[in-house]
Chains A and B, each alone.
Chain A
Amino acid sequence: MSILDYLTRNRKKTASVAKERLQLILSREHATSNGPDYLPALQKELLAVVSKYTHIDLDDIKINLEKDGDCEILELNIALPEAENKVA
Chain B
Amino acid sequence: MSKVVVVTSGKGGVGKTTTSASFATGLAMRGHKTAVIDFDVGLRNLDLIMGCERRVVYDFVNVINGEANLKQALIRDKAHDNLFILPASQTRDKDAFTTEGVGKVIDELRESFDYIICDSPAGIEKGAMMALYFADEALIVTNPEVSSVRDSDRILGILGAKSKRAEEGLEPIKEHLVITRYSAARVASGEMLSIEDIQELLGIDLLGVIPESGAVLQASNAGVPVVRDEVSNSGQAYQDLISRFLGEDLPMRFLDTEKKGFLKRIFGT
Contact = CB atoms under 8 A, between A and B. Distances in A.
Contacts of A14: 190-191
Interface string B163-201: 000000000000000000000000101111110010001
A26 B268 contact: no
B201 A25 contact: no
B268 A15 contact: no
A29 interface: yes
A15 B197 contact: yes
A71 interface: no
Contacts, number: 47
Nearest to A11: B190
Residue among A18, A21, A25 with most chain B CB within 10 A: A18
Interface in B224-269: 264-268
Contacts of B267: 2-4
B193 A2 contact: no
A27 to B, nearest CB: 10
Given A15-B193, A15-B197, A2 B264 contact: yes
A2 B154 contact: no
Nearest to B264: A2
B149 interface: yes
By size class, the interface of chain B is: 20 to 34
A7 to B, nearest CB: 10
Given A15-B190, A19-B197, A19-B201, A5 B150 contact: no
Given A2-B266, A2-B268, A22 B187 contact: no
A26 B153 contact: yes
Nearest to B153: A26
B153 A13 contact: no
A16 interface: yes
22 contacts: A2-B267, A3-B266, A3-B267, A13-B190, A13-B191, A14-B191, A15-B190, A15-B193, A15-B194, A16-B190, A18-B193, A19-B193, A19-B197, A19-B201, A21-B146, A22-B149, A22-B150, A22-B193, A22-B201, A29-B153, A30-B157, A33-B157
Interface of B: 145-146, 149-150, 153-154, 157, 187, 189-194, 197, 201, 264-268
Interface of A: 2-5, 13-16, 18-19, 21-23, 25-26, 29-30, 33
**3 closest pairs, A vs B, by CB?**
A13-B190, A2-B268, A4-B268
